[in-house]
């Protein structure tokens, strides 16, 4: 915009240049070069139709930034490959007996990727650990997928994944688990959700630079953000799959299925720290407070419906190198969900460490 404004002023000055000779104002005759500049500006305006101007306005609304702090997205498309390390953690506890159990999934190596058009992207990944395993013994994590929007003003994502099988019991109150087979394939978790949050300092802080890989943060900057999220969890527990030496485990730790929906509001803080040219360290912490509607089928087949206040925590961190065309980096993503009522509690945490590499193509005009 500044370039057009200066060009217009130069043309205007040429057309209105005045001579003070003999105390009179005499307009100068514009040169051929000046007239060519006028024609060029006029033609440029005519080329941009109403639809193009609307699209430019929408893009500026979502992606507009202070170029002293952020180098905006310069390409139409972004493609990236991700090699991820997934790990799931479940902690069960009984308020009646004070006993607890910890179950951790086998680490999963996941291969996937994203394709972005502008600020809209779709990603899918496949669990390499599931290859060759018969149905019923794998995690089904090949269905991990997400549709996301990365803009300067807000971030939004719809996601779904399965997890839980091929796990191990790593702790159980009053049990010595050392040197024993503690494998457990009776845990299955299905998760889907929607999260979105608004970035307050969006002219100076770039979320796409930190996690969308299609912009570059030039100067260090932080921001508060306000988020809304919906999460649906279905966790089933098949006690018959427990190892033989754990068949007499505390029954108050047992359940058949937990099914809950969580609606929450979060206020978080994010910071982009520029370590050097094209090199960025980013961090985002998002504690949340919400309402949870839960159904639980306990091992004794009694059914209860419970409404709880929920407190969860999401955390992201990344290190990225990005020269606007090519990029590579590491992203850590943690989600913690806590379910509880008067005699039973379940906390499940999903952690992902991703190595990302990709490039942008089809440069914008």
240 SS3 class: helix
Model confidence at 19, pLDDT cuts 50, 70, 90, reads very low
257 SS3 class: strand
Model confidence at 235, pLDDT cuts 50, 70, 90, reads confident
Residue 284 confidence (pLDDT): 95
Residue 224 confidence (pLDDT): 96
Residue of 268, 119, 148 lying closest to 198 (CA atoms): 268
Residue 48 confidence (pLDDT): 59
247 Cβ neighbours under 8 A, 6+ residues apart: none
Domain 69-363: CATH architecture, name and number where available: Beta Barrel (2.40)
In angstroms, rounded to a whole number, what is the distance separating the alpha carbons of residues 92 and 94?
A: 7
Q: How far apart are the first and last CA of the chain?
A: 15
Residue of 80, 130, 124 lying closest to 109 (CA atoms): 130
Residue 165 confidence (pLDDT): 66
In angstroms, rounded to a whole number, what is the distance separating the alpha carbons of residues 325 and 330?
A: 17
Residue 150 confidence (pLDDT): 83
In angstroms, rounded to a whole number, what is the distance separating the alpha carbons of residues 185 and 167?
A: 6
* Least confident interval from 5-14, 32-41, 135-144, 221-230: 5-14
- On whether the CB atoms of residues 310 and 290 are closer than 8 A, the answer is yes
Residue 43 confidence (pLDDT): 59
List the Cα angle 126/131/133 in 5-degree steps: 125
Strand partners, 326: 359
pLDDT, tens digit, for every residue of 89-146? 888 888 788 889 898 887 788 899 899 988 889 998 888 877 766 665 555 555 678 9
Both tokens of 302, joined, read 């009694």
141 Cβ neighbours under 8 A, 6+ residues apart: 86, 108, 110, 125, 126, 127, 130, 161, 162, 163
Looking at residues 264-293, what average pLDDT do you find?
91
**Domain spans in the chain, listed from the N-terminal domain onward:** 2-47, 69-363
* Least confident interval from 27-36, 161-170, 250-259: 27-36
Judged against a pLDDT cut of 50, whether residue 69 lies above it is answered with yes
Q: How many CB atoms lie within 10 A of CB 25?
A: 10
Residue 8 confidence (pLDDT): 47
Both tokens of 61, joined, read 């609304």
Residue 139 confidence (pLDDT): 53
Contacts for 334-339: CB closer than 8 Å, 24+ residues apart: 336/312, 337/231, 337/233, 337/262, 337/310, 337/312, 338/310, 338/311, 338/312, 339/233, 339/258, 339/260, 339/292, 339/294, 339/308
Residue 33 confidence (pLDDT): 66
In angstroms, rounded to a whole number, what is the distance separating the alpha carbons of residues 29 and 42?
A: 19
Judged against a pLDDT cut of 70, whether residue 306 lies above it is answered with no
Both tokens of 323, joined, read 């020269």
Judged against a pLDDT cut of 70, whether residue 29 lies above it is answered with no
Q: How many CB atoms lie within 10 A of CB 77?
A: 15
Judged against a pLDDT cut of 80, whether residue 314 lies above it is answered with yes
Identify the DSSP state of 233: E
In angstroms, rounded to a whole number, what is the distance separating the alpha carbons of residues 265 and 255?
A: 29
Residue 252 confidence (pLDDT): 78
Judged against a pLDDT cut of 50, whether residue 303 lies above it is answered with no
Residue 305 confidence (pLDDT): 44
325 Cβ neighbours under 8 A, 6+ residues apart: 75, 359, 360
In angstroms, rounded to a whole number, what is the distance separating the alpha carbons of residues 319 and 213?
A: 11
Residue 166 confidence (pLDDT): 73
- On whether the CB atoms of residues 163 and 139 are closer than 8 A, the answer is yes
Q: How many CB atoms lie within 10 A of CB 344?
A: 21
Higher-pLDDT residue of 166, 278 = 278
* Least confident interval from 52-66, 130-144, 227-241: 130-144
In angstroms, rounded to a whole number, what is the distance separating the alpha carbons of residues 2 and 92?
A: 60
Provide the Cα torsion 298, 304, 306, 311; round to 10°.
Answer: 0
Judged against a pLDDT cut of 50, whether residue 28 lies above it is answered with yes
pLDDT, tens digit, for every residue of 184-233? 888 888 888 999 989 999 999 998 899 877 789 999 999 999 999 998 88
Judged against a pLDDT cut of 90, whether residue 327 lies above it is answered with yes
Higher-pLDDT residue of 47, 183 = 183
Q: Report helix angle 32-47 to 2-15, nearest 10.
A: 140
59 SS3 class: helix
Judged against a pLDDT cut of 80, whether residue 307 lies above it is answered with no
* Least confident interval from 28-32, 73-77, 205-209, 254-258: 28-32
Average pLDDT, the chain: 79
Residue 282 confidence (pLDDT): 97
Residue 158 confidence (pLDDT): 94
In angstroms, rounded to a whole number, what is the distance separating the alpha carbons of residues 278 and 281?
A: 10
């Amino acid at each position: 915009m500044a370039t057009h404004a200066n060009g217009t002023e130069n043309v205007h000055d040429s057309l209105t240049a005045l001579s003070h000779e003999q105390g009179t104002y005499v307009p100068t005759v514009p040169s051929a070069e000046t007239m060519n500049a006028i024609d060029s500006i006029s033609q440029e305006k005519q080329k941009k139709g109403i639809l193009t101007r609307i699209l430019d306005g929408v893009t500026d609304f979502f992606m507009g930034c202070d170029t002293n702090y952020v180098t905006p997205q310069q390409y139409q498309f972004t493609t990236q490959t991700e090699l991820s390390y997934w790990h799931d953690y479940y902690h069960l506890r009984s308020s009646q007996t004070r006993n607890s159990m910890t179950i951790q999934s086998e680490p999963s190596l996941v291969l996937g990727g994203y394709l972005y058009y502008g600020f809209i992207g779709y990603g899918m990944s496949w669990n390499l650990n599931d290859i060759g395993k018969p149905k019923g013994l794998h995690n089904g994590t090949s269905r991990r997928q997400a549709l996301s929007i990365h803009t300067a003003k807000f971030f939004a994502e719809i996601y779904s994944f399965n997890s839980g099988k091929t796990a191990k019991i790593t702790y159980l109150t009053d049990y010595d688990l050392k040197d024993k087979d503690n494998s457990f394939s009776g845990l299955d978790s299905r998760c889907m959700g929607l999260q979105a949050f608004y970035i307050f300092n969006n002219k100076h802080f770039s979320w796409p630079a930190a996690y969308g890989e299609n912009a570059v943060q030039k100067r260090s900057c932080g921001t508060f953000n306000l988020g809304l999220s919906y999460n649906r969890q279905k966790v089933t527990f098949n006690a018959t799959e427990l190892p033989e030496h754990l068949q007499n485990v505390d029954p108050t730790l047992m359940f058949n299925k937990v099914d809950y929906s969580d609606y929450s509001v979060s206020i978080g803080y994010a910071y982009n720290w520029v370590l050097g040219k094209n090199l960025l360290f980013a961090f985002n912490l998002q504690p949340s407070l919400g309402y949870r509607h839960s159904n639980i089928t306990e091992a004794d087949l009694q059914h209860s419906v419970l409404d709880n206040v929920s407190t969860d925590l999401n955390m992201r961190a990344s290190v990225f190198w990005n020269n606007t065309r090519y990029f590579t980096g590491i992203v850590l993503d943690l989600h913690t969900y806590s379910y509880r009522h008067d005699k039973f509690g379940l906390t499940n945490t999903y952690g992902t460490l991703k190595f990302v590499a990709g490039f942008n193509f089809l440069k914008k005009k």
